[in-house]
Amino acid sequence: RAKLNGRNQAFYYEASDEESYSASYRLERDFLSAIAQEDLYLVFQPIIDLKLGKICSAEALIRWHHHEHGLLAPDLFLPELHRSGYLPDLDIYVFEKAMAFITAHKAQLGDDFCLNINISGQGFSEPKLMEKIQHYYQYSSHLLSHLCIEITEQTIVDNVEATQKTIEQLHTMGVKVALDDFGTGYSSLSYINHFTFNILKIDRSFINNLIKGPNNTIILETIIQLSKSLGIKTVAEGIETQSQFNSLKQLNCDKGQGYYMVKPVTSKELAQLLIENKQFN
């Protein structure tokens, strides 16, 4: 009989049907109580306007302070929530928390400031999320102009028509839509042509490889130029060094996000950073 050993192992645990039933049952139960007790919370990573060197947006990222396993990164529990069908519940939770942040800090937010949230493929086209957004649209639509929803290519692949329809509805309500992790899938170029994304987030792997030869620079430059001509803003993910920062600025990438500038912070710290209006070079 296999044993659960050490922290975080529980969610990778391969087991007999009976055992895995109880493991996933436990996670489901943990998830529901974690939501009820607010053990799940958002951290915020600022996104910098590379030209101005100022914070222009932020991405909300989920964390789980598990009562037994400690702090869990999303890569550990998202696959399990996916299997048990709980991602749409997480998405609603994240959406509500994000709207609470926007509501609380509205006065400090510049007109163009966006809070980005990651929404799963399962949750994106679910009526429940759209109903929540429609509710805001009806009663406080001005808040929605500060919201941007990040989806991945997988969401499109899973359901092309529903995704298209949802994106159009979001645009009608003033919500922006970003394509996350661009360049990690297969047919990305056709997607940016057929779907009306406001923002393209260039995957970290491209930024990592930036210094590893001239071809990478040419590819990046092409992505950035193509996006520009389609009216799509580009965000470089995972900027870790000064030289990556400088190169992306030179390539006219609009925005950047990464440990070199700021790691994800608490909502209080983000509010403080917005007040400070710090310069990033």
List interacting residues with Mg ion (CB under 5 A): 118, 150, 180-181, 237
Q: Which does 14 bind (CB under 5 to 8 A by kind): Mg ion, ligand C2E, none?
A: none
CA gap 140, 195 in Å, rounded: 27
Residue 103 φ then ψ, to 5°: -60, -45
Which residue among 46, 88, 256, 258 contacts ligand C2E (CB under 6 A)?
Answer: 258
- Strand pairing of 233-236 and 40-49? unpaired
Please report whether residue 180 would count as binding ligand C2E according to CB under 6 A. Answer: yes
Cβ neighbors of 191 (< 8 A, separation 6 or more) are: 153, 156, 179, 185
CA atoms within 13 A on the CB side of 36: 6
Contacts within 8 Å (CB) and 24+ apart, 242-246: 243/211, 244/207, 244/210, 244/211, 245/50
Would you say 115 or 133 has its CB closer to Mg ion? 115
CA gap 224, 218 in Å, rounded: 10
Please report whether residue 240 would count as binding ligand C2E according to CB under 6 A. Answer: yes
Would you say 91 or 180 has its CB closer to Mg ion? 180
Shortest distance, CB of residue 238 to Mg ion, whole angstroms?
A: 8
Shortest distance, CB of residue 9 to ligand C2E, whole angstroms?
A: 18
Would you say 126 or 180 has its CB closer to Mg ion? 180
Please report whether residue 238 would count as binding ligand C2E according to CB under 6 A. Answer: yes
Size of the site for ligand C2E (CB under 6 A): 25
Q: Which does 121 bind (CB under 5 to 8 A by kind): ligand C2E, Mg ion, none?
A: none
3 state DSSP class of 74: helix
Which residue among 14, 18, 68, 75 contacts ligand C2E (CB under 6 A)?
Answer: 75
Would you say 179 or 251 has its CB closer to ligand C2E? 179
Q: Which does 46 bind (CB under 5 to 8 A by kind): Mg ion, ligand C2E, none?
A: none
CA gap 122, 224 in Å, rounded: 29
Binding mask of the shown chain, residues 87 to 106, with x at each position contacting ligand C2E by CB under 6 A:
---xx--x------------
Q: Which does 192 bind (CB under 5 to 8 A by kind): ligand C2E, Mg ion, none?
A: none
Interior/surface letters 96-118, b for 16+ CB within 10 angstroms, e for the rest: ebbbebbeebeeebeeebbbbbb
Please report whether residue 25 would count as binding ligand C2E according to CB under 6 A. Answer: no
CA atoms within 13 A on the CB side of 8: 12
Angle between helices 87-105 and 267-276 (to 10 degrees): 40
Binding region for ligand C2E (CB under 6 A) out of 29-37, 73-81, 138-146, 246-254: 73-81
Tokens found for residue 109: 């937010």
Shortest distance, CB of residue 73 to ligand C2E, whole angstroms?
A: 5
Residues lying near ligand C2E in the complex (CB under 6 A): 45, 61-62, 73-75, 78, 90-91, 94, 118-120, 150, 180-181, 204, 237-240, 257-259, 264
